[in-house]
Chain A
């Protein structure tokens, strides 16, 4: 009855072609990366052992493990989080719950976009000029972490704001109508329902922070430092910089070592992201209204 006209058939064919084309383009973005990950696993996998993870590097970093770099990265990330999460959550609360639609709010939003867009090496210059030199923290975990904190602040702000926005306005209005202040509303209704989303954002920030290299190069990370940091004013090694150093700066490193470091680093980052994504999927499945 509904006989397919030639026009119709042609349309369907073209539609199928376009569909294939776009699918192919999508795959072209994902497949190379999958291949690369495969290579990393094949060539870096053999390097990984308890000894590799938990001993000091020896022989000018051409042998031994990566312990100080691992521990250093943890230090950097933790201090950066302590500095940026409270500020980022506050900023997001302001933008989502308090800010009127005015010039100041637009300026804050523009500043956030730019903080996220400024090249990491410029953040490094800022960290050097501000934290290392001006505030006299020297090249230290503190200076490096603060640089990372400023750089990843937008990650926390954006994730927190998004998760605050998922709480329906009707809930807020119901509270306000009862005479609750904005803060009471936030504390009783908004935050309890947004906290897991905020956590997702924080995990994302951990992932981002642990992979950054340029911002810590001149502010606190050292090429080679065969002992563990004792406090925030010490310098430290870091995974990301360690990968850069042993793959470009040190001669005669056996090939499996940088592959091993790259594999550990990327596993850390992807694991964090995976947790964050899994968490989000879980939250979406759990209905509270």
Chain B
């Protein structure tokens, strides 16, 4: 008998193929890390010259003067660009967070069957509209609409870009928020309903608190999306350097600045390096936002798993 066992214990072709595939797919998985690291390395490589030679922390974050093309005294103050991005993103969130959460609650907790499926599909389709089309909508539809409605000279401003960005970010936030609601175990709802709570009581007192982490994550990802959006903001915000004081001021965003100016700079120049430095800043901020959102999502999942766990050491783990 033991000899028989021996004879069978060979590393046959199937074993080696499996080993080879394991290495191959591991390489695929590692590529994600390689790419994200590559992004950081390559934008840093192009921006490093500027960061070390010219970068002035106080000017970058403290001055609203972004005049890289000035021949005698170029300045690289990103404050106005940061303010532009922040104002547009902020308005977008004001518009879209309540509506996205409302839509997520309706789709996740109230709608049923066909209505629910249809709404989910519609939301998914909304998320698919390319940003350049959104920008074009801001430019050609929202712009005249704002000029007429509010009687202002220019319709490309914080309001326009904010609303466009809000509509863009909403589908993603709705989807993620709905996932978060779905992750709340049905036993919670059943327990509350068994005690005689109505649907909205269940939603407000039980489901929303339980899904809080996921909802925060959804909002954070919405912020990340708004912060990093390029074409739509470039086309709808007016693209002029301003510290905005009203929603009708035109502004300029960090992303839009890179998109608009990179084509006209010489590789290796200060201006070129400065644009890559903006890129590094964008990368770091979005990385932080995504990381935070991931922590919240994980926190939410762990919570439910701990509470909703089956009895210890289940037979089929």
In angstroms, Cα B166 to Cα A28, docked, is 12
Of the candidates A14, A90, A111, A154, which one forms a contact with B198 in the assembled complex, judged by CB atoms under 8 Å apart?
A: A14
Binary interface encoding of chain B residues 100-134 relative to chain A, with 1 for a CB under 8 A from any of its CBs, else 0: 10110111001000000001011111101111110
The complex places the Cα of A121 from the Cα of B287 at a distance, in Å, of: 14
Residues of chain A contacted by B139 (CB below 8 angstroms)? 247-248
| A213 in contact (CB, < 8 A) | yes
Q: Is the CB of B140 within 8 A of A247?
A: yes
**Cross-chain contact B103 with A29 (CB below 8 angstroms):** yes
With A126-B42, A153-B32 in contact, is A26–B107 under 8 Å at CB? yes
Cα A258 to Cα B35 in complex, Å, equals 35
| A217 and B306 alpha carbons, distance in the complex (Å) | 48
| Interface SS of B by simple majority | helix
A95→B230 CA distance, assembly (Å):
31
With most chain A CB atoms within 10 A of its CB, the pick from B26, B36, B289 is: B36
A113 to B131, Cβ gap below 8 A? no
Q: A36-B141, A119-B282 are in contact. Are A29 and B28 (CB under 8 A)?
A: no
Report yes or no: B259 in contact with A183, Cβ–Cβ below 8 A. no
Are the CB atoms of A30 and B33 closer together than 8 Å? no
Question: Are A181 and B287 interface neighbours, CB within 8 A?
Answer: no
213-244 of chain B: CB within 8 A of chain A? 221, 224-225, 227-231, 235
Is there an interface contact between A110 and B291, defined as CB atoms closer than 8 Å?
Answer: yes
Contact B224 A117 (CB under 8 A): yes
Docked complex Cα distance between A19 and B100 (Å): 15
Contacts of B122 in A (CB 8 A): 30
Question: Is A39 an interface residue, CB under 8 A from the partner?
Answer: yes
Please state if B282 and A126 are interface contacts (CB–CB under 8 Å): no
How many A-B pairs have beta carbons closer than 8 Å: the answer is 273
A189 in the interface, Cβ–Cβ < 8 Å? no
Query: CB-CB < 8 A to A133: which residues of B?
Result: 46, 267
Is B231 a contact of A244 with CB atoms below 8 Å?
A: yes
Q: Is B99 an interface residue, CB under 8 A from the partner?
A: yes
- Known contacts A119-B230, A247-B139; A22/B110 CB under 8 A: yes
Known: A150-B35, A247-B140. A262 touches B133 (CB 8 A): yes
**Residues 90-132 of A at the B interface (beta carbon under 8 Å):** 90-95, 97-99, 105, 107-108, 110-115, 117-126, 128-130
Please report the C-alpha to C-alpha distance between residue A84 and residue B99 in the assembled complex, in whole angstroms.
Answer: 35
B26 in contact with A94 (CB, 8 Å):
yes
Please, how many angstroms separate the alpha-carbon atoms of A184 and B15 in the complex?
10
Interface stretch, picked from B17-25, B63-71, B73-81, is B17-25
Shortest beta-carbon distance from A122 to chain B in Å: 5
CB distance from B146 to the nearest CB of A (A): 14
Q: Is A70 an interface residue (CB 8 A)?
A: no
The closest CB in chain A to the CB of B25 belongs to A94
Listed by A's residue number, 25 A-B pairs whose Cβ atoms lie within 8 Å are: A19-B199, A19-B200, A22-B102, A25-B103, A88-B28, A93-B28, A113-B294, A117-B228, A119-B286, A121-B228, A121-B258, A122-B282, A125-B42, A125-B258, A126-B38, A134-B42, A181-B15, A183-B14, A208-B128, A211-B132, A240-B132, A243-B136, A244-B235, A247-B235, A265-B133
